[in-house]
Structure 1
C-alpha cells in the first residue's frame, strides 16, 4: 500500500467534467475520487489548485462554498491553493487591425488565470524532493505540466507517478511518455458519481454549505 500525494488542476478537471456531463458532478469530493481510483492505496494529501472566477458573483459564491465544504468534509487531507485571474483586453485582429468591440462600442475583455499551474508544478517537485507521500498523482490533461512531472522524476527517480486524465480525453499525449514510467488512466463516470460530497456539509463553526441547485 502506497501513500498517494495528489494534485488537482481544478480548471482542467472542471472543464473536462462540464463539457461531458454538464454540472452534474461538480460537487466533487476530490479526496474520495483519489480513493476510488487508487483503491489499494491510501491518501496522504490532495492539493487542489484553482482560482475564484471574476465578475460572476453567483458563480464565485458557489465556488467558494464548494471549496469550504470540501475543506470542512476532509480536514487536513485536502489542501486548497488559490491563484488569481488577471484582466486582459483582447487585442485587435492581427489581419485587419480592427478592435474587437461590442455595440456600445466597448473593448472586449477576458480574464487570464495566473499562478495556478506554476504553483502546482512547484509543489509537486517540492513534495517529491521531501518525500511527502510515496507516490505522485496528477489529475490533469494539461501538457504544460509535463516539465514539472519530468522534474519529479529527476528528483525522485523511483517514485511512482500516476496521471489521471479528466473526462473528455480519449488519448494519451506522447509528450508524457518522455518522462518515463508514467502510469496513465482515464477518470470514468462511475468514479465521479460515487465521489460526491454530501448534499449538505457543516463546518466546525456551524456554517452550512449546500450543493447548489444548478449542480444537481
Structure 2
C-alpha cells in the first residue's frame, strides 16, 4: 500500500472555509476527509498533521478553536500549535501606530513536519493542504532528496492553487469540494480522554 500523509495549514484552511459562509463546515473531520481524497484502493492514510496558532484576544473564537483542536486530537490528528505575538505597526500616511497580533511558528511547524517525516520515511505521498508559497522550499527539499516521493497541492474550493507551490509539487493537485466537506463533518459529541462538544456556532443548518 502507498502511505499517504496530510499536512494541514490551519489558518489557510480556516479562511478558505470562512469564505464559503457555511460555519458548520469548520467542524471538519480531517481523517474522514483525507480518506475521501486518496485513491481508496491504492493509498492508506497513515498520518495527519495540523499546524495552527491560537489567538487570545477573542474569547469566543479561542474557545471554539481549542475545542476543535481537542476534537482533532481525539481522532488521532497530530496538532502542532504556534502562537501570536504583538508587533508595532505604523501607518505610512499619517504616522499613527498600533499593536497588531501576528501569527508565529505555524508555517515553520508545517514545513518542519513535512521535511522531518520525509527523512523519517513516514510517507510515500504527501498531501499539502495550503496555498502558501512559503512551503515551496520544504517541498523542494523533499523532491530533491526523495525523488520517488510524491507531493500533491490541495486547496479548498474557491481558492486557487499557488503557482509556485503547484510547480514545486510537479503539478500534482487536488481540490476539496463542498460535497467532500459536507460528507466529512465531526459528530456533535466526540468521546476521547475527555468529551468534546461541538460549539453551537458550528451546528449544521436545520
Structure 1 residue 177, shift from structure 2 partner: 4.4
C-alpha displacement at 1:149, in angstroms? 0.8
Alignment partner of 1:70 out of 66, 69, 72 = 72
Matched, 1:198 2:197: no
SS in 1 for 2:28: coil
**Which has a greater percent of strand?**
2
- State the structure with more CA Rg: 1
Q: Spell out the pairing of 1:88-167 with structure 2 (5 A cutoff).
A: 88-91=87-90, 93-96=91-94, 98-100=95-97, 108-167=98-157
1:8-59: per-residue Cα shift (whole Å, max 9, x none)? 0001000001012341211111111111111422111100000111211121
The number of equivalent residue pairs is 201
- Please report how far the alpha carbon of residue 180 of structure 1 lies from its aligned counterpart in structure 2 after TM superposition: 5.3
Provide TM-score, normalisation by structure 1: 0.87
Q: Please, what is the CA RMSD of the aligned residues?
A: 1.6
| Distance apart, 1:161 and its partner CA | 1.0
Greater mean deviation of Cα atoms: 175-184 or 23-32: 175-184
Measure the CA separation in 1 of the matches of 2:106 and 2:162: 22
Name structure 2 gaps, 5 residues minimum: none
Deviations 1:136-195 (A, max 9, x none): 1101111111111111111111111111112321x3333134425241121110111111
Report the counterpart of residue 27 of structure 1 in structure 2: 27
TM-score, with length taken from structure 2:
0.91
Give the conservation status (yes or no) of the 8 Å contact 1:125–1:151: yes
In 2, Cα distance between equivalents of 1:180 and 1:32: 24
Q: For 2:169 and 2:26, locate their aligned partners in 1 and report how far apart those are by CA, in whole Å.
A: 32
- Contact 2:154–2:161 (Cα < 8 Å) also in 1: no
> Displacement of 1:124 after TM fit?
0.7
1:84–1:114 CA contact under 8 A, matched in 2: yes
- Any stretches of 5+ residues in structure 1 without a counterpart? 101-107
